[in-house]
Each structure stands twice: as C-alpha cells, then as structure tokens.
Amino acid sequence: MTTPIAALGRPLRLGVVGGGPGSFIGPIHRAAALLDRRFDIVAGVLSSDAERCRSAAAALGFAGYNSVPAMLADARLDAVAIMTPNDRHTEECCAALAAGVDVICDKPLANSLADARTIADAARGHVFCLTHAYTAYPMIRQARAMVEAGVIGELRAVQVEYLQAGMSGPVEQGELTPKLRWKLDATRSGPSLVLGDIGTHAHHLACYVANRRLTRLSADLGAIVPGREVDDYAAILLRLDGGIRGTLIASQALAGTENSITLRIYGATGHIEWTHIRNNHLTLALQGRPVQTLARGDADLLPPAQRLLRIARGHPEGLTEAFANLYRDAAEAIASRITGLPADPLALDFPTAEAGVAGMAFLEAALTSRARDGAWVEVG
C-alpha cells in the first residue's frame, strides 16, 4: 500500500521560527527535521534583527525572513516549526494555522490556559505536534504499550521526577545569556518557570505512559535559591483518572544533578521504570519474578516501539533521535492531510495542542493550590 509520504513524492517544505545563533534547541529541531529526509528546511525567521536573520539563514542554507507574516506570505510551506520564547507561541502558531500551514511547536504550548485553548481551537482540522520529545523515545512507547496491555496489572501509582542543576547557583547575579534573560522574565517565560520549563514535561510523561488524565493535585511550589523571584522547585501530589495516586517532583536548582528524569509506573502485579540517563532500556519488575531489562532493539518489543527503531541494540540513541521520531510522525500526518491517504495509526500518537492545553491546566491548578497553601485543587 502506498504511504502518504511516498504518494507526496517530495520532502515537506518546512519553515523554522526561532532557534537562531546561540540557541540550544534550534540545532536539535533542525537536525531532527532533516534526519529522515521527510522535510526540507526552506525558510526561517531566526532573529528579530533583520541582518542577523539573513546571515544566519544563509549560513544554514535557506532563505531568511524578517517576520513570520512575511515568511508565510512568500514561502510555499507545508509546515512551520516554532521554537521561540513562550510568550510568542500564541501569535506565531495562530498566524501559521490561519495561513493553512501545519505546526510543530516547542513546549510549553503557551503561558496561560486561555492562550493554550486559543491555539487548540485554531489547530482544529490541522496537524499540530507539540514537542514533548521524551515521549518519543522507543522505550517510553514500549512502556505505554505494556501498561495498556496489562503487563503490570491494574494501575496503582505513578512517580515522576525531572531534576536539573543549571539554576542551583545565583545565576541572576551574573551576566545573563539571551536564554536566561527571557527565562528569568515571568512576562516571557510564564507564571512558573520550573513548571513551564520542565514540569509540563514531567506531567505529560506520567500521563502519557499511564494513559490517564490528571484530575486533582496539591502543590508545594516556589524557589529554593535565596532571593530568587521565579519558581525553581515543585513537589506535587497527583490524582489521575480512577483515583490513581502519584507524585511529581521538578527542580532546576538541585546542585550536582544532570538532566535527570525518572518515571515509575506501579500496577497490582509489578512496575515499570525508565530513566533518561539509560533511555535505551526499560526495567520490568514483576512481583515474585526476576527483574528484566528490556532494550531498544530487542526483537520482541511491541509495535509502537518497533516502528521507532533506527539502529541495532547496543548502539545508543538519544534526544535528537527522539525529536526526529516526532518529526517523522508529524510528517506522516501532514502528508496524509495533503494526499488524503490514511496515515499509519502508530504515527498518530504524538502530543498535540490538546496535550498543551492539559499541560497549562496542570500548571494553573498548581498555582491555585499554592495560593491556597497547598490545598487540593481540581484540574480544569
């Protein structure tokens, strides 16, 4: 059967917004988009400075534009990838969608629940991929499929941690990089830095693998570095659909940690554990049986994981490949919309604008809980 990508007969034309010189995330997005040759990057808005934008784009081999409207009017685009500061997402996403262009957007979706809903409404009828890339690791897809298959029995509890050290010192007192400058500005990064930056990742990862919606929470949220005005620490009690209990801890200020992510899903007969530092493996511990280590590349992995395998077991993959998995899935969906041919159902399990709405509902509920001294709050 002819696939949508094969029927299209060409790579999708992609424009990029943000991620210019000095960006951490821009090169990852661009490399991911190009990895499977399903996109060509043909245009970009890489800087608000016109000359800097033109020279940076030329160095990368595509046309540079002064603004998103100018790029949308001139370039013949199938999709736009947005990786600008959070406060610009609503305007840029809605402009692309209004022009009939599908969107791949970095998280968080927006800085408020209202803005997230505005984007989600505009995205109806379009392909919209939100790059919660951790859920595109093969072993996370394996974990989700195992939970759905009942391998660990009826769900009982969820634990997720996302810990960093980059803000463990008084970074505000030094010379600020452009990235730190906007992140430390709540008008640009949002009302809770730690939750917008990494807490939404932890929330999405837990809910995605458990395949349950967050319904209630109780939050301890604030700063642990003296004098800091933005949040750098969150410890949150969770309740998921069905009364499943959970905990979420996220911090950017825990000295000595790396980009440390851990997820544990507990069922009646065992649990699954995944860590980012060993992302190519998944631990399965069933009660009364030897602990198993499953590896990316194992022949008996379930189909959602199998379709993401690129190289043989023992050759590690990482964050760029996880981003590329999202771009590959989005390309399948975009080509399906253009050609009218059905997409592979396994390609349609990527985070959408609705996942971004759920992330902002989580964030705003945590802020409400803090204002009520940690009271339990319903998640809207």
Whether pLDDT at 351 is above 90: yes
pLDDT band at residue 152 using 50, 70 and 90 as cut-offs: very high
Report the pLDDT value the prediction gives residue 321, as an integer from 0 to 100: 97
Whether pLDDT at 52 is above 90: no
Query: CA 127 to CA 79: how far, in whole Å?
Result: 9
pLDDT band at residue 367 using 50, 70 and 90 as cut-offs: very high
- Mean pLDDT computed over 91-105: 98
Report the pLDDT value the prediction gives residue 244, as an integer from 0 to 100: 98
Do the first three CATH levels of 4-134+326-349 and 138-314+358-378 match, i.e. the same topology? no
pLDDT digits (tens, 9 = 90+) for 215-248: 999 999 999 999 999 999 999 999 999 999 999 9
Amino acid identity of 273?
E
Provide CATH code, domain 4-134+326-349: 3.40.50.720
Average pLDDT taken over every residue of the chain: 96
Looking at the domain 138-314+358-378, which fold is it?
A: Dihydrodipicolinate Reductase; domain 2 (3.30.360)
Report the pLDDT value the prediction gives residue 51, as an integer from 0 to 100: 87
Report the pLDDT value the prediction gives residue 34, as an integer from 0 to 100: 98
pLDDT digits (tens, 9 = 90+) for 269-287: 999 999 999 999 999 999 9
297: β partners: none
Report the pLDDT value the prediction gives residue 16, as an integer from 0 to 100: 98
Among 103, 112, 101, 97, CA closest to 18: 103
The DSSP annotation for 62-119 comes to SEE-SSHHHHHHHS--SEEEEES-GGGHHHHHHHHHHTT-EEEEPSS--SSHHHHHHH
Q: Are 155 and 131 in contact (CB under 8 A)?
A: no
Lowest model confidence (mean pLDDT) among 173-182, 257-266, 274-283, 302-311: 173-182
* Sequence ranges of the domains in the chain: 4-134+326-349, 138-314+358-378
Among 71, 88, 66, 52, CA closest to 80: 71
- Mean pLDDT computed over 318-339: 97
Measured from the Cβ of residue 178, the count of other Cβ atoms closer than 10 Å reads: 12
Query: CA 248 to CA 216: how far, in whole Å?
Result: 13
Give the alpha-carbon dihedral of 46, 47, 48, 51, to 10 degrees: -110
Q: Which helix (H) or strand (E) holds 255?
A: none
Whether pLDDT at 213 is above 90: yes
Report the pLDDT value the prediction gives residue 175, as an integer from 0 to 100: 81
At which residue do the structure tokens 């392909």 appear?
A: 127
